[in-house]
């Protein structure tokens, strides 16, 4: 017999919403699978416990799911800037990652920011007052996307940003001198 009725979804004892059933999964003879789906953005920050309660119908008894734990973190945005987008090789450059959240009244942001390029780690810095800074002169010549990856913490979700950086190789001058400006064919000459 088809399953009817609805499912109520709860956060703790708070009703989040309801959804009707739709057929899903294996519905071969002898099997009856029905699903109810519900989406929400209303979960509060912190630890939560979600349950689903089936209302039952004329043929099927009501039932309640086991609680499912979920952790809701504040969203963050990482903004990565560079002290100079183009530097000479061997010159120090400072990368600053600023971590913000749109949530008002949130606690201070903690955690770390990992700085890297092309999969090469430059260093990891603690977040203080919403930002982390790394100064380095270790970049090789080339054009890179510097990555600033915020780790997140117990209250905040991780986030990432990129900053382009060009490292120019140092200029060189090549000159040549000879041991003699006039020689006899077959004689030795030294080029420096």
Average pLDDT, the chain: 91
Closest CA to 93 of 146, 131, 169, 161: 146
Encode pLDDT of 134-151 as tens digits.
999 999 999 999 999 999
- Token code pair at residue 11: 């956060």
Output the pLDDT for position 58.
85
Contacts of 159 (CB under 8 A, 6+ apart): 75, 76, 77, 78, 99, 150, 152
Encode pLDDT of 21-55 as tens digits.
777 765 555 556 778 888 998 888 889 999 999 98
Which residue matches tokens 């609680």? 67
pLDDT bracket for residue 169 (50, 70, 90)? confident
Average pLDDT of 103-131? 95
CA 117 to chain centre: 15
Average pLDDT of 104-117? 95
Record the pTM.
0.72
Question: How many CB atoms are located within 10 Å of the residue 54 CB?
Answer: 19
């Amino acid at each position: 017999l088809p399953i009817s009725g609805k499912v109520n979804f709860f956060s703790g004892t708070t009703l989040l919403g309801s959804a009707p059933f739709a057929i899903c999964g294996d519905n071969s003879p002898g099997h009856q699978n029905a699903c109810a789906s519900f989406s929400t953005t209303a979960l509060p920050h912190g630890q939560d416990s979600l349950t689903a309660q089936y209302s039952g119908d004329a043929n099927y008894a009501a039932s309640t799911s086991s609680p499912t734990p979920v952790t809701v973190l504040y969203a963050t945005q990482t903004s990565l800037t560079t002290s100079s987008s183009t530097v000479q090789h061997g010159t120090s450059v400072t990368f600053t990652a600023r971590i913000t959240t749109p949530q008002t009244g949130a606690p201070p942001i903690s955690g770390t920011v990992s700085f890297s390029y092309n999969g090469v780690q430059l260093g990891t810095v603690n977040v203080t007052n919403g930002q982390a800074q790394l100064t380095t002169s270790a970049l090789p010549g080339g054009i890179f996307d510097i990555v600033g990856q915020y780790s997140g913490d117990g209250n905040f979700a991780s986030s990432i940003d990129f900053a382009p950086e060009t490292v120019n190789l140092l200029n060189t001058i090549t000159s040549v001198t000879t041991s003699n400006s006039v020689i006899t064919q077959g004689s030795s000459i030294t080029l420096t």
